Structures are given as C-alpha cells and as structure tokens.
Amino acid sequence: SFGADKMDRLALGTVTFRYRFKQTKPKEIETIKNELQLPDVPAYYRDKFRIRNLEFWSNHFESLEQSYLLQLKDKIKKAKARLINVQVDAAYDLASTNEEERQRSLKLVKQWIDATATLGSTCVRINPGRTNGSVEKSIESMKEINTYAKSKKLVLLTENHFGIEMNPAIHLRINKEAGPDIYTLPDFGNYPVETMFESLAKIMPHAYLMSAKAVSFNSNIEHTSYDFDKCVKMAEQAGFKGIYSVEQWSPGYQDIDQEKVALWMIDHVKQNI
C-alpha cells in the first residue's frame, strides 16, 4: 500500500540514461560525460530525483557474477531504495519452433531470473517471443518460466515489446494460458500511434506495473510523440493502483538533457495520479 507521497508510485528506469552507460552509448557520443554504472544508480536517483523505486535494463549489467550482484544489492540497500523490475532483453526467443533455440533461450532467461532474484527485485519482465514465432511454443515456454519465477518469489511481467505479443489479443492469451498470475507491463510508447489508445485499453486492466514511456522531445523539453498525460489518465481510469516506471526511448539519437526529460516525466505522472 502507498502513502500520501506520490513519489511512492514512481520508478525510474536506467533506459532513460542509456547514453551515459558504455554498453548502450550511441555512436554520436564519443566521450561519455558523467558515465554511469548500475552500482551508482540507487544513490544518484535518490539524490537527483527523490526516486527510490528502481528499474534496471539487462543491457546495463556489467556481469551476472554473484560478487557483482551482491555489490549492487548492497548499493540498493544503502540508498534505502528497492528494485521493482529488471527488463530482460538479451538474445533469446521463447516462441522459437527450433527446439534447440527454445531450450537455449529458456536456460538464458532462467539465468537472468536467478540474478533478478538475488537482487531482491519484485518483478522480472520477459519477452514472450519474436514476431514470427509460435504462440503455442511461447505459451509452453512462458508456463515453464512462470513456474520458475514463482519459485524465486518473482512476479512475471510481459510488455508490448515488439514481439509476438504486439497483438493485444495474443498478448492476453499468452498470459492467461501460461498463468496463473502473469501480468502485463503496458508500455505507453510501443504501439503504433494510430492504434495505441485502443490497444493500451485492452492490456491496462491486467497490469502490475506501467512503463510510462515518452519518446521524442523538442529542444524546449516538450513531448511531441503522443499525449503522455492521456496515457496516465487511462491507466488511472482502468483502476491501476501500482507503480509507474518512467522511461524515455527513441530509435534515433536525441541531443537533449536526460535529467530534464526524467523530471518532465516524473512531474507529468504526478499531475495525473
């Protein structure tokens, strides 16, 4: 349960600061100013944004070694923060019709679930499979992954994340048939703009967490891609009571101040909840 402080319902993902991590720096940036590593994030988010709910992107982990994970866990604890989710985007395909590839994918995803559990996260976000995959194979895989995640006391989330689940009906079918208790992680920015509101309306009632994503900003730090505020209002109207994890992502490089973008997103979620 959340207190009166709206900040309790806000999280911030590391995706927003991808330009400052060496693993995800775009070619447009030759030298990183104020480089970040995951162990720096908990104290940085607390001090700069008053954010204590963290979301980590798999691409920002230096390692899955136990010593690294325990160091990271200690930094989270020292900042009085908590990890709410890890977005797992390694090379895997749980809907593959190639059984060898599917088994390799299952093994890889379980390694990430182990790491996420070690860090004491609440949730883990796993992709149900690539667009050309088999819904039946995805369900078979996700059943196994859900059982494994539950054994590690993790809530399994699936996001509309450019795979087989980009059709909301298929997304909900995978979760239902691979369940129980697999939740959606609706991402504001991932559906085509023409259908985004109707698609979000279908998956929002089944959400555990919201990915409150913004995409493109102009030089005045105004969001230009779609009505971000409307997305938050829709989630509230759908009865969502959980955490909004704000993140900015755009396919192309944007020369904008990510700290200002993060503050814009935090402010716009707070205004609408």
Q: Which residue has the tokens 């967490």?
A: 209
How high is the pLDDT of residue 4? 61
CA distances to 89, 197, 239 from 235, rounded to whole Å, are 25, 11, 7
Dihedral of CA atoms 248, 251, 253, 256 in degrees, nearest 10, equals -20
Which two structure tokens, joined as six digits, stand for 237?
């109207």
Q: What is the average pLDDT score of the chain? A: 97
What pLDDT sits at residue 2?
46
List pLDDT tens digits, range 137-163. 999 999 999 999 999 999 999 999 999
State mean pLDDT over 45-52: 97
Instruction: Provide the residue count of the chain.
Output: 273
pLDDT at 129 over 90: yes
In tens, the pLDDT along 213-233 reads 999 999 999 999 999 999 999
What is the pLDDT, as a whole number, of residue 264?
A: 98
The sheet with strand 53-57 has its strands ordered as 183-185, 155-159, 123-126, 82-88, 53-57, 10-13, 243-248, 209-214
d(CA 254, CA 248): 11
- pLDDT tops 50 at residue 92: yes
In degrees and rounded to multiples of 5, residue 269 shows phi and psi of -70, -45
pTM score, two decimals?
0.97
Give me the mean pLDDT over the 26-33 stretch. Answer: 94
* Mean pLDDT calculated for residue range 116-121: 98
Nearest to 141 by CA among 113, 162, 119: 113
Distance, CA of 79 to CA of 175 (rounded, Å):
34
Q: Please give the share of the chain, as a percent, with pLDDT higher than 90.
A: 98
